Amino acid sequence: MRTLFLFAALTLALTAGSCCGEPKTELFNGRDLTGWVCVTDPESGADVRETFSVRDGSIRIAGHPFGYMRTEEAYGDYRLHVEWRWVGEATNSGIFQRVQAGDRLWPEAVECQLQAGRAGDLLGLGGAAIDGAEQSGRISIKRRAGGDCERPAGEWNRAEIVCVGGYMAVYINGELQNECTGLRCRGHIALQSEGGPVEFRNIWLTAPRLRTGI
C-alpha cells in the first residue's frame, strides 16, 4: 500500500511539475558543453570533440566510440526533462542516473534505455542495484511495462525521469514506462554514446515536489 501511494504521489508530482513553471536548473545552455565531462574508450584514440559536439542548439553524439558525457555536478532528488531524436537510423543510446565517481568506461549507474523499440527499460550498470531486475551478463535489466510510444527517427521524443531517494520513475512521451527502487540517493547524470548518431536538447531539472522519507 505504501508503495502504491508513493507511485501515485510521484505521478501527481510529475504532472503538476510539468505545468506550473517552477524554477529550472538548466543542464545544457544550447551553445557549448559547459558543465559536462566527456568520457570515451581510451583505447579508441578518438577526439572527444568529434564524439560530443553542439550543432544548431542541440547536443550531437556520434555513437562511436562508446562513452558518455556526464554532468560536473552530482544531484539528489529531481525531475529530469530530456528530449532526443535519432539522426538517420534509429539505433541505441541511453540516459544514465546516479552515476558514481571515477569516470569508468562502464560506470556504476542506472541507465534509462533509449534503444529503438526498448525506450524505458532500466539497466543496472557497473554493479548498480535495481530491485526486481533480471541479471544478464554484466548488467541487470528491468523491462519497461508500458507499450510502444516512441516516435519515428527524425522526430523529437521526450523523457521525464523522477528520482527521489532510492526510487525512480521513467516516462517516455508522457507515458509511464518503468519504475524501480534500490538506487543510490545521489549521483551524476549522463548521456550515452553507443550505436549511432543522436541529438539531445532541452535538458533541465526541476524539483520532484514530493516529501518522503525514502
5-56 tens-digit pLDDT: 344 445 544 443 444 567 999 999 999 999 999 999 999 988 999 999 999 9
pLDDT at 111 over 80: yes
> C-alpha cell of 105?
568506461
Q: Would you put residue 46 in left (φ > 0), alpha (ψ -120 to 50) or beta?
A: beta
**The CATH number of 2-206 is which of 3.30.540.10, 2.60.120.560, 3.40.228.10, 3.90.1150.220?**
2.60.120.560
DSSP string, 7-39: HHHHHHHHHHHTTS----EES--SSS-TTEEEE
CA 72 – CA 92 distance, rounded (Å): 24
Rounded CA separation 195/63 (Å):
5
3-state secondary structure 135-168: EECCEEEECCCCCCCCCCCCCCEEEEEEEECCEE
Q: What is the pTM of this model?
A: 0.89
The position carrying cell 510539468 is: 18
pLDDT above 90: residue 191 = yes
What integer best gives the mean pLDDT of the chain?
A: 89
Contact of 186 with 71, CB cutoff 8 Å: no
